[in-house]
Structure 1
């Protein structure tokens, strides 16, 4: 079964979560964002570290009966700190990060970070695709929404030339942002160069099946959404809504699209070797993982005891931790499923990790 649409069709596509401004307290020790604000939020978790280990490492619960140990770390406020790299966008002008909030001066939807963490991509209140600095300055409209379309979930596609493979233009060719575009009832993937200014996106059409065999069943050209990039070869995982399937698209050497799993909202690991996705089980949305290798099809339910919905998963930069959205905020868990999820934030928004 597909992930249950708790947000409505348009909201599930655009993640246009409208909540009150995020109010957090204190700043992380490395927070130098000039637009950061620090205000007290009644009822939020305390400002002591909540068991976060090394930067990007798995969150470890602390307290009686959890088996975890509190580790000294950068001050953490409602799930975010300079040490854990977690950020949360809420569909408002403010983004939670570094133990505080940053005012981007415009609505920020579906924020995603560049591979080096120096730029943020998002959809603004006008539906345009925008990139900006981490403090919200230096905003550039890569592509202006023509109207009548809903853009969502941008992701930075990138690649590095591999030894012995003649792809000298790889870095430039894959220096693009892929996103979902909905027009009417038609969903497609589109892409645009990260250096564009007021450019026109082009449709990204999934190519033929592995090996380029045109006699094989071809992947759907429409109904595609939730693109997510990972690894060093420009791979793109995405979901097809009508089929309730997750695919991976790779044209580094030659075009190839593979069906990987039944589910939605895929997220590729930083090394491109593993995939996490969402699937409904017994009335709740669970997180599943599997290898991206074609001959390794075993799947693992990372949240087998789920009593709530875990959606919109993202990987930490070191590939050890997952963050996911729940109806009550953000939870994290080890990427190998060795421990149950722990709620780290009451901020209700889209999680992302800044490298």
Structure 2
């Protein structure tokens, strides 16, 4: 496929690969989040990479139809948006009606377009106010799609500019990542996760929760079977490998990765900077409840995540989390 046909290593990609794969000795015993459920209503259709499915015991994420009843909305100035599994999305201190169910919303790198799973389970894009909707692809009967992310290549890349959407597909037999050009009527194709720096082949199934950043298509994702976070570098000669133990990863433009890991009986949010010698930082060390679904700002400075009573933000280097809304949903950063 078009997005996979070039495997040239750029110096920036090489630095990022080294950053996320070097010095990744685990600081804590890792396992999937196993805390108690938040009590929100279940989703109409549970995606394979929703927290409840990927992380046993965690809450149902942005797919909860009962999540839009909060009163606190301090999203203005944060660039954080919250999709609630209803027609409404919180952003800029307001509640925006998209005119259709919005699940797992993700923003294009320039912030001008949204991608999400609609009420029929199909992949759509739209303008930031929900207008100019385009059905990119329709999910086959019996297959659940979830958690889209934008994979964008700049014009200076060897294969030229291109805009794609990666997402998880669950046909009840296997979890897999699909890729599709971000235009109406495009045909999704399986994402080839690539070769590994190690001799052990990378798993083709069990993959979920993709997240991309930057203009070189750098992507992270999790594997439900082995509980590890992987990177996918389509431009590198060696274009895949393990980062660390965890789930629900996200990556910034500079290569900082955030993810979920269970410790002391609760799901915690961790961050690992792109620097080669950077240590993993527990951003919620005092957690007495489960914290899940982290996202990181494009500049790598701030992290937003879901708590049982709303959405929180915290500096990526650590600090005191601040609750910016009591609406429970899936956070995303918009440029």
Report the TM-score, using the length of structure 1 for normalisation.
Answer: 0.76
Kindly tell me the number of residue pairs found equivalent between the two proteins.
289
The residue number in structure 1 matching 2:261 is: 279
Secondary structure of the 1:261 match is strand
Larger radius of gyration: 1
Shift of the 226–21 alpha-carbon distance from structure 1 to 2, 3 Å rule, reads: closer
Q: Distance in 1 between matches of 2:206 and 2:96?
A: 34
Shift of the 152–2 alpha-carbon distance from structure 1 to 2, 3 Å rule, reads: same
Superposed, which structure 2 residues align to 1:116-155 within 5 Å? 116-155=110-149
Shift of 1:99: 1.2
Shift of the 296–258 alpha-carbon distance from structure 1 to 2, 3 Å rule, reads: farther
The residue number in structure 1 matching 2:317 is: 336
The residue number in structure 1 matching 2:200 is: 217
Match of 2:193 among 206, 210, 213: 206
The residue number in structure 2 matching 1:31 is: none
Shift of 1:17: 2.5
Secondary structure of the 1:10 match is coil
CA contact (8 A) 1:89 1:110 kept: yes
Secondary structure of the 2:49 match is helix
Match of 1:193 among 181, 184, 200: 181
Q: Distance in 1 between matches of 2:236 and 2:210?
A: 20
The residue number in structure 1 matching 2:332 is: 352
Q: Distance in 2 between matches of 1:134 and 1:100?
A: 12
Shift of the 12–206 alpha-carbon distance from structure 1 to 2, 3 Å rule, reads: closer
2:288 is equivalent to residue 298 of structure 1 = no
The residue number in structure 2 matching 1:244 is: 227
Q: Distance in 2 between matches of 1:18 and 1:303?
A: 24
Q: Distance in 1 between matches of 2:120 and 2:47?
A: 15
1:110-140 per-residue CA deviation (whole Å, 9 max, x = no partner) reads 0000011110000001110000001111000
CA contact (8 A) 2:67 2:327 kept: no
2:75 is equivalent to residue 80 of structure 1 = yes
Shift of the 321–143 alpha-carbon distance from structure 1 to 2, 3 Å rule, reads: same
The runs of 5 or more residues in structure 1 that have no matched partner are 24-40, 46-77
2:48 is equivalent to residue 2 of structure 1 = no
Shift of 1:301: 1.4
Q: Distance in 2 between matches of 1:232 and 1:17?
A: 29
CA contact (8 A) 1:79 1:86 kept: no
Shift of 1:306: 1.2
The residue number in structure 2 matching 1:289 is: 271
Shift of the 94–329 alpha-carbon distance from structure 1 to 2, 3 Å rule, reads: same
Match of 2:158 among 150, 168, 188: 168
CA contact (8 A) 2:122 2:137 kept: yes
The residue number in structure 1 matching 2:56 is: none
Shift of 1:255: 4.5
Q: Distance in 2 between matches of 1:246 and 1:91?
A: 26
Q: Distance in 1 between matches of 2:304 and 2:185?
A: 33
- The 10-residue stretch of structure 1 (110-119 or 13-22) with the greater mean CA deviation from structure 2: 13-22
Runs of 4+, deviation exceeding 6 Å: none
CA contact (8 A) 2:180 2:187 kept: yes
